[in-house]
Amino acid sequence: MTPHHHPRADLHIHSAYSDGTYSIPEIIWKANALELKAISITDHDTTIGIDEALRLTESTSPEVIPGIEFSSKLNETSIHLLAYFIDHHDPDLKEYLALCEKRRLIRTEKMVKFLQDEGYQITLDQVLNIADGGVLGRPHVAAALVEVSDYKSVPHVFRDLLVRGKPGYVAKPTFNVSEIIELVHSSGGVASLAHPKTIGDDAIIPKLVHRGLDAIEVVHSSHSMHDVEKYSALTDQYDLVLSGGSDCHGTRLGREVMGKFTISTEHVARLRSRIKSNHYKNQNTTLDYKE
C-alpha cells in the first residue's frame, strides 16, 4: 500500500498460537525477507507469542510491538479491537485473558455436544488436540469435523454448521467495548478499531471515539483504495491515528498477504506518541485498580 522505499510496518499478524498457520520464527523470518521494519503479533485473546518474538529480535529487526486482538461488543454489534504497546504481563490483562480462555473452553464444549447430538462422531479431546494449546475457536471444531465426516473443507463446515442459526453455533461471550478500551489503556496500550469495513456501519466510529478509541485500521487486506481514502478521512476528522496491517493468517485463507498491506513507520511513531496523551488523560480518571 505504501511505496517500498519508505520503512514499512505490518501491525496485524496472527500466529499459530491463535488461528494463523505460521510459527513465531516463521513470521520473523518472513518479516525480514519482506524488509518490514516493524510488526505486531496480534493473536486473538492471547499474548503467548510475544516474549518469543521479542527474544528472537533482541539484536535484529524487525521491531516487535506487543499486540493483541480483542473481541468486544457495542450493544449488539461485534467490534474487534487491536491493542498495541501493551504491557503483556499486566496482572489485570492476564486475569482477563484467563477468563477468556475459560469461556472459550465452555463454548467449545457446548458446540461439540450440539454436534454430537446431530450425529457427528466428534470429541472434545480431538478438538483440543487440533488446537494444540492455541486459542480455542470454531476453526478447530471445523477441522475436527473434516477429520470425522464427509466434509472436505473448513469453509463448508462453517457454512453448514458453525454460523448463526446452524446446529453447531454457539455465540461467543464478549465484553463491552468500553471495558476493553479501558483495559487496553490501563495496561499502557493504544486501542485501534480493526477492519472497520466488516462492521458495515461507520456511525459506530464517533461512539467509539467517545469511549476512548485511539486509532483506526485504515489499511487492511479487505479494504479497497476507496475504503482506505474514506477511513483515512475519518481518522483525520476524529483526531485518531492511522493504523494498518495485512491480518495475515499464514496459509489458512489461501492467499499470502503478509507485508502486502502496510503502513509507514511514521504512523507507528504516532501510535506510540498517543500513549503519552492517554497517560495524561488517565491522570484525571479514577481507574478501579484491584487490591
- Per-residue pLDDT of 55-103, as tens digits, reads 999 999 999 999 999 999 999 899 999 999 999 999 999 999 999 999 9
Percentage of the residues of the chain whose pLDDT score is greater than 90: 82
Report the C-alpha gap between 10 and 15 in whole angstroms.
13
Longest alpha-carbon distance in the chain: 59
Out of 30-39, 139-148, 201-210, 247-256, least confident range: 247-256
Could you report the per-residue pLDDT of 161-199, keeping only the tens digit for each? 999 999 999 988 889 999 999 999 999 999 999 999 999
pLDDT band of 3, cuts 50, 70, 90: very low
Is the pLDDT at 135 greater than 90? The verdict is: no
Indicate whether 153 belongs to any domain.
Answer: no
Indicate whether 131 belongs to any domain.
Answer: no
Is the pLDDT at 151 greater than 90? The verdict is: yes
Indicate whether 120 belongs to any domain.
Answer: no
CATH number assigned to the domain comprising residue 235: 3.20.20.140
Report the C-alpha gap between 153 and 143 in whole angstroms.
8
Question: Which stretches of the chain are DSSP H helices?
Answer: 24-33, 50-56, 91-117, 124-131, 138-148, 154-157, 177-186, 204-210, 225-237, 265-282
Q: Which domain holds residue 271?
A: 8-88+187-282
Average pLDDT over residues 143-161: 93
pLDDT at 279: 62
Indicate whether 291 belongs to any domain.
Answer: no
Indicate whether 112 belongs to any domain.
Answer: no
Average pLDDT over residues 127-138: 89
Amino acid at 31: A
pLDDT at 177: 96
Average pLDDT over residues 122-136: 92
Neighbours of 150 (CB within 10 A): 7
pLDDT band of 2, cuts 50, 70, 90: very low
Indicate whether 22 belongs to any domain.
Answer: yes
Indicate whether 109 belongs to any domain.
Answer: no
Strands (E), the chain: 8-13, 36-41, 63-64, 67-74, 77-84, 175-176, 190-193, 215-219, 241-244, 263-264
* 235 secondary structure, DSSP code: H
Could you report the per-residue pLDDT of 210-221, keeping only the tens digit for each? 999 999 999 999
Cβ 19 vs Cβ 44: under 8 Å: yes
pLDDT at 98: 94
* 198 secondary structure, DSSP code: G
What total number of domains does the chain contain? 1
Cβ 84 vs Cβ 192: under 8 Å: yes
Residue 283: partners with Cβ closer than 8 Å, 6 or more residues away: none
pLDDT at 281: 57
Indicate whether 149 belongs to any domain.
Answer: no
Is the pLDDT at 291 greater than 90? The verdict is: no
